[in-house]
């Protein structure tokens, strides 16, 4: 914990300044704080859809390189994202003034309502499962539940929803930097645990230990719902009830249509009616089951109502998100940036677009991460008809200082594995190269968690122009 404040017990001051305010989580927290009547100001280095929304909602932001002059007078607390370094001018200025500086995770620990917070953790699937849980909590009446999730709900068009008094609160609990250990949830979901974020953990054992501590933090009167691949040590750390998918929770797969499933879920003494998911992917069956399970077991929702709320979930931005079909070529974007995520996304793509060539534009995430997961990326990308690799996205550069791998190294490895792999360069150049290699029998997937989403307009325009000229 950073100096100057115990966020688990202290009241938040009236004026809060947010550094990295354009991040998915930070922007959601800023919106919720503003709705609660706090004075919220912020800074980010770049314009994003999140900063634009905050501006429209009346949260004043400064965009550009950080300067000490950007720290307003009267600030009682500075909250920063994990991407903001200790050397940031506003961080150093705040400390010189004696203003407490905390991380986003500590802020969320203070904002999340005690006794009504349900948290979703895991290496993969947190965003989707958090929104599915919110849907399950919304469908059976009662106070409106709130949410703070690291991705936009495509139906609500937001990443944060304030809760009514007495309403449940669905929060995405990220393991990076041990962020989720600042929460004290009434119930929790852990979707899966795989090696990731080893830049801050150092080893998989340390990562597993953090998940054990998170599981142990859940109220012993509550419930922890676990995915089928969560290590036993995590289940053993839970102080209260545990429901595991594949044991206490059972899924009946009833039908599949182009990658979208119709299912029934059975739990201890209850069962849902059959329901059909609106989002594709076998992995989303597990996500849905975990969300329904926690809503029923921890929040007392009816099985039928929880299932209905999950079935109506339309998806999150950057999760198998359609970018349209310019010139008749389907384009889809997904946030996948870990080998497991890439593999399940491409499996879903083959189910959803049977018989189509699969072309991928991929932006790796962090140089050290790319090096560490290199073998996994090569394996998960096997079988593609073509791939263009954009430059590695340099998130958290102040932390990512160890030896890493660049896009050229990944392309070389992919070619040695027999793939038609191409070096793309910067995102816009990569999108141009990607569009030039598409054909009428292909579907195009854009994968990555960095700024690759910024090529959407350029890519759709290039594809539309290319195929319009062939008609």
Q: What is the pLDDT of residue 283?
A: 87
- Between CA 129 and CA 290 the distance in angstroms is 7
Q: What is the pLDDT of residue 401?
A: 52
- Between CA 325 and CA 331 the distance in angstroms is 6
Q: What token pair was written down for 237?
A: 């750390």
Domains in the chain, ordered, with CATH?
A: 15-105 (3.40.50.720), 112-311 (3.40.1190.10), 321-468 (3.90.190.20)
Q: What is the pLDDT of residue 3?
A: 36
Low-confidence ranges of the chain (pLDDT < 70): 1-10, 197-198, 317, 395-403, 469-471
Nearest to 188 by CA among 117, 127, 258: 117
Do the beta carbons of residue 148 and residue 50 sit within 8 Å? no
Distances (CA, A) of 420 to 36, 374, 416: 53, 17, 10
Residue 177 sits at the vertex; the CA angle it makes with 87 and 371, to the nearest 5 degrees, is 90
Q: What is the pLDDT of residue 158?
A: 83
What is the DSSP code string of 279-331?
S--HHHHHHHHHHHHHHHHHH---HHHHHHHHHT---BTTSSEE---GGG--E
Q: What token pair was written down for 402?
A: 């160890």
Q: What is the pLDDT of residue 175?
A: 85
Residue 434 sits at the vertex; the CA angle it makes with 428 and 438, to the nearest 5 degrees, is 145
């Amino acid at each position: 914990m950073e100096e100057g404040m115990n966020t688990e017990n202290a009241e938040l001051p009236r004026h809060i300044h947010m550094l990295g305010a354009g991040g998915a989580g930070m922007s959601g927290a800023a919106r919720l704080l503003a709705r609660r009547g706090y004075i919220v100001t912020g800074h980010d280095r770049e314009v994003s859809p999140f900063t634009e929304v905050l501006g429209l909602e009346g949260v004043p932001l400064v965009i550009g390189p950080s300067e000490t002059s950007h720290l307003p007078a009267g600030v009682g607390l500075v909250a920063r994202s994990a991407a903001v370094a200790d050397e940031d001018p506003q961080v150093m200025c705040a400390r010189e003034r004696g203003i407490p500086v905390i991380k986003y995770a500590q802020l969320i620990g203070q904002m999340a309502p005690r006794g009504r917070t349900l948290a979703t953790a895991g290496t993969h699937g947190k965003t989707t499962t958090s929104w599915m849980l919110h849907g399950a909590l919304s469908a059976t009446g009662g106070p409106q539940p709130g949410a703070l999730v690291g991705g936009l709900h495509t139906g609500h068009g937001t990443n944060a929803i304030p809760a009514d008094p007495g309403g449940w609160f669905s929060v995405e609990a990220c393991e990076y930097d041990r962020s989720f250990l600042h929460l004290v949830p009434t119930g929790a979901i852990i979707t899966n645990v795989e090696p990731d974020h080893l830049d801050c953990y150092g080893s998989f054992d340390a990562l597993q230990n953090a998940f054990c501590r998170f599981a142990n933090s859940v109220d012993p009167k509550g419930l922890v719902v676990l995915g089928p691949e969560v290590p036993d040590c995590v289940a053993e750390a839970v102080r209260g009830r545990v429901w595991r998918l594949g044991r206490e929770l059972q899924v009946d797969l009833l039908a599949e249509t182009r990658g979208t499933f119709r299912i029934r879920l059975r739990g201890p003494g209850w069962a849902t009616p059959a329901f059909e998911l609106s989002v594709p992917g076998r992995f989303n069956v597990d996500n849905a089951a975990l969300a329904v399970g926690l809503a029923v077991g921890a929040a007392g929702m009816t099985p039928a109502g929880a299932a209905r709320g999950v079935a109506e979930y339309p998806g999150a931005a950057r999760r198998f998100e359609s970018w349209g079909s310019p010139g008749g070529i389907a384009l889809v974007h997904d946030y996948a940036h870990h080998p497991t995520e890439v593999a399940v996304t491409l499996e879903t793509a083959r189910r959803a677009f049977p018989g189509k060539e699969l072309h991928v534009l991929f932006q790796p995430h962090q140089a050290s991460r790319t090096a560490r997961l290199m073998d996994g990326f090569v394996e998960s990308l096997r079988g593609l008809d073509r791939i263009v690799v954009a430059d590695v996205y340099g998130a958290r550069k102040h932390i990512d200082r160890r030896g890493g791998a660049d896009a050229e190294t990944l392309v070389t490895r992919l070619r040695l594995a027999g793939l038609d792999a191409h070096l793309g360069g910067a995102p816009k150049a990569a999108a141009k190269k990607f569009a030039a290699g598409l054909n009428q029998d292909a579907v195009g997937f854009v994968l990555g968690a960095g700024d690759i989403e910024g090529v959407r307009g350029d890519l759709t325009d290039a594809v539309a122009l290319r195929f319009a000229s062939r008609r």
